[in-house]
Amino acid sequence: MSELGNLSTIAGIIAAFGIAMLYFRIQRELQMDSSDEPIWIPYAERLLIGATLLCLVLVLLPVASQLPLSGSLGRLPFAAATAALILVIGYVPAIFAHYRLLPGTRREGLYENPEPAESVITWSTVFLAGAGFLVVMMRLW
């Protein structure tokens, strides 16, 4: 039971962080809209949205509802938490790339969604999160 408690703590922290960041993103986009600026959800933020949903739906919901998860289904919350952690890790360089704060990402002109480096980082992170999910689900580690 201690494993599920630890897992719930990790998932709760990720979900709370994702929801807080989404709140600030929505505030910012509403300000941009009132200034007649284009609005969008950057690809980097989509990593956090995905991590938040994974934690809420595939980790916290099964644990909180005490669904009887046995066999490979019992690994689902652990696999989802692993994928969510990878998504959050990838969020940091992806959001830096979105704002052109990484070395080699300085460019002139309007921002794009996604920025070229942001797209590479985001899709790489999604691939790694999927691989992490499969590794845990299939007990390959």
Tens of pLDDT, residues 13-68: 999 999 999 999 899 889 988 888 888 889 999 999 999 999 999 999 988 888 77
Mean residue pLDDT of the chain comes to 90
61 close to 97: Cβ distance less than 8 angstroms: no
Q: In this predicted structure, what is the pLDDT of residue 69?
A: 74
Find the domain containing 111 and state its range: 2-137
Q: Please say if the pLDDT value at position 107 is more than 80.
A: no
Read off the pLDDT of residues 73-90 as tens digits, 9 standing for 90 and up. 889 999 999 999 999 999
Q: In angstroms, rounded to a whole number, what is the distance separating the alpha carbons of residues 97 and 91? A: 10
- Which residue has better confidence, 139 or 93? 93
**Total number of domains in the chain:** 1
* Closest alpha carbon to 91 in 141, 13, 12, 17: 17
Residue with token string 């509403």: 30
pLDDT band at 141 (very low <50, low <70, confident <90, very high): low
- Which residue has better confidence, 4 or 21? 21
Q: Please say if the pLDDT value at position 1 is more than 60.
A: no
